[in-house]
Amino acid sequence: MYFLIRNILEECSAEQCHDADSAFVAVLTPEQWASESENFDMGIDFDLNNDEVMTTKAEVNYDSLTGTFVIPTQSSGASELQRFSYVLDETGIVFIDRGETVLNIIKKIQRFKKWKKPCLERFLYDFLELIIHNDLQIMQKYELELDQIEKQIMNDAEEAQIQRNNELRGDIRDLRIHYEQLLDLAQEFEENENGFFKEENLRYFSMFSGRVDRLYNTATHLRDYTIQLNDLYQSQLDVRQNRIMTVLTVVTTIFMPLTLIVGWYGMNFKYMPELESQLGYPIVIVLSILIVVGSLTFFKVKKIL
């Protein structure tokens, strides 16, 4: 499909796209690009396979600028990574996409955007902005979920969904990488090495860089939060284990003197006077009770229990 960048995106034919005095946007499949690339006169043989696209980037060539996009599933809401490529010069931009990702974004621009000063730079800004449009809400959702996990850890660490915390850290890591690459791409556009963009319009790329930078900082904060939650989870388990060990130590300490008494009077020597005394058995019982009560009182005073 072909569009002209005017007050709105106007759908047009291939011939109108090449002959018009306005900047254009074209969306082609890899097969269409292979057969029609010469019509765009961008001076580059851009052979690609979208399945091999791994990063979002921009590369400056002699008389064109080429690159790729990889949108993570967290940002796109799709079940798999969204990959597509692009080629641009001062006359317009060509997207090479096997799927519907680019067309869906362009249709949103066509439906909701109307420009007083239409230009390629403004279109690129709106296109890039729609890629990260929902990311702030995604970050807020992640933060609320992490807050809930923190409450679970404080209430009962063993019941906390710590595995979900690890999954969120992986999602946030992917988004941080995505933002780093978008920042590099926007900076490449802003440097304007080939002079494709008007100087007064470079502010659009600066605005986009600012937005992505804030998202990157938020993602960094959330990543650190997930690490802190892992530490908190481990510390809560350690506290629980320490309490168990404390109880076992107290029980052992209480029963040590009782074990001594049992061992002592279990020897049954012939001349042990307590064996013949009518008060021997009650005295041992009272002594054992006093030892238990005294030990518990000591541990309470020392705030061990």
Q: Which has more pLDDT, 108 or 302?
A: 108
Is the pLDDT at 168 greater than 60? The verdict is: yes
**Which residues contact residue 198 at a Cβ distance below 8 angstroms, ignoring those fewer than 6 apart?**
119, 121
Strand segments, DSSP code E, in the chain are 2-5, 9-12, 24-28, 57-60, 65-71, 82-89, 92-96
- Least confident range from 95-104, 203-212, 260-269, 288-297: namely 260-269
Rounded Cα–Cα distance for residues 149 and 155 (Å)? 10
pLDDT of residue 123: 92
Residue type, 30: P
Is the pLDDT at 254 greater than 60? The verdict is: yes
- C-alpha angle 134/130/203, rounded to 5°? 120
Over residues 26-74, the pLDDT tens digits come to: 888 888 887 777 777 765 555 555 556 688 888 888 788 888 889 888 8
Q: Is CATH 3.30.460 the right assignment for the domain spanning 1-131?
A: yes
The residues spanned by each domain of the chain are 1-131, 242-301
pLDDT of residue 305: 64
Rounded Cα–Cα distance for residues 123 and 24 (Å)? 10
Over residues 203-216, the pLDDT tens digits come to: 999 999 999 999 99
Contact between 55 and 42 under an 8 Å Cβ cutoff? The reply is no
**For the structural domain made of 242-301, what CATH number should be given?**
1.20.58.340
pLDDT of residue 124: 93
Rounded Cα–Cα distance for residues 213 and 190 (Å)? 15
